[in-house]
Each structure stands twice: as structure tokens, then as C-alpha cells.
Structure 1
Amino acid sequence: MCTKDDPPNEQKSPQVPSTGTLLVDTSRRDQVGEFRGAAGPYWSLRPVCGGKEWEAEPANVRAPSPMERLRAEITRCNARSEGRIL
């Protein structure tokens, strides 16, 4: 039963994460990126080792698994140690 406060066909928008949060974009073959901000209906993500940002639909973004998070953090640490990113 629907109430006046809960329209039946309205989707709730996902909560915007904080800057720097690791996320997985399922529309880009599960690429992991850092959340950089919201741009209209899209979220801006950046590769963990720096590079060109891309826009993702929030419906195609999910939290990384523990293994995906670990890989991304190791990749970032290796890039820092090699001087590719600050």
C-alpha cells in the first residue's frame, strides 16, 4: 500500500559519496575510480593513479569488493613510489 509520502513510481537517488571514495563503474568493465564530485545527474570518477576523469551514471556505480579496494590501493601506492603521481 502506498502512502502520500512514498510515490510508487519514484526512484530514490543514491546518496552522493564523499570526495575520494573508491567506486566501481560497472559500465566500464568494473573500472575502479575515485569519486570527484557530482555534475548534474552524473558522478565524476578519476582513475586511482590519476588521469582523465569520466562521468558515470550513479545507477552503474557500486562499492568495491575488498579485493578490488586492495588492488586499487596497491596500484596507487606503486604509482606513488615510482613517481607517477604525487
Structure 2
Amino acid sequence: MNAEPVLPLVGVLLVDTSRHDRVGEFRGVAGPYWSLRPVCGGAEWEVEPVNVRVASPMERLRAENARSNARSAGRIL
């Protein structure tokens, strides 16, 4: 019996293992998929919950650093 994955809070950083460990921010549910948004902005993508894991502390640090760098360079608000 497969347990349903626990739904994360909006904004939690997750890793999409089906896309070369791409880190994204959880945005919500779209049918059977979870919507993730790139940390530095851009189009959301959908992923099956079985292909998602919580970002490690190092992955979160890298993502937050990339977001800060993009903000300071004026690439995102």
C-alpha cells in the first residue's frame, strides 16, 4: 500500500529528481502533479510527487544564494 506524500507548505524548496535534481519552490497542486517554480524566477513546471524530495541544507543555501545574486543583478524582484 503506497502512502500519499505529505503536502509541503507553499514556498518550501524541493528537488525534482526527474530533472537532474533541479531545485524549485513549491507553489501548489495541479491535479496529480505538484507545481514548482524556479528559485530565480521563471515558468513553473509540474512534477509527480514521487519524483520530489526536500532540498538538503546545502541545496537550500545554494538556491538562496542564487536568488540573492539574481536580485542584486536586477534579474528578479
TM-score range, shorter chain: over 0.9
Kindly state the Cα deviation for residue 33 of structure 1 after the two structures are TM-superposed.
0.2
- Match status 1:39 vs 2:30: yes
**Equivalenced residues, count:** 77
Distance 1:80 1:24 in 2: 22
Root-mean-square deviation (CA, aligned residues, Å) is 0.7
SS in 2 for 1:75: helix
Other-structure match for 1:62: 53
Structure 2 unaligned spans of 5+: none
Higher strand fraction: Structure 1 or Structure 2?
2
SS in 2 for 1:51: coil
Higher relative contact order (CA 8 A, sep 6+): 2
Counterpart among 56, 66, 73 of residue 64 in structure 2: 73
Structure 1 unaligned spans of 5+: 1-9
Kindly state the Cα deviation for residue 67 of structure 1 after the two structures are TM-superposed.
1.0
SS in 2 for 1:71: helix
- Match status 1:82 vs 2:45: no
Counterpart among 13, 30, 37 of residue 4 in structure 2: 13
Relative to the length of structure 1, the TM-score reads: 0.86
Kindly state the Cα deviation for residue 66 of structure 1 after the two structures are TM-superposed.
1.3
Kindly state the Cα deviation for residue 82 of structure 1 after the two structures are TM-superposed.
0.9
AA aligned to 2:49 is P
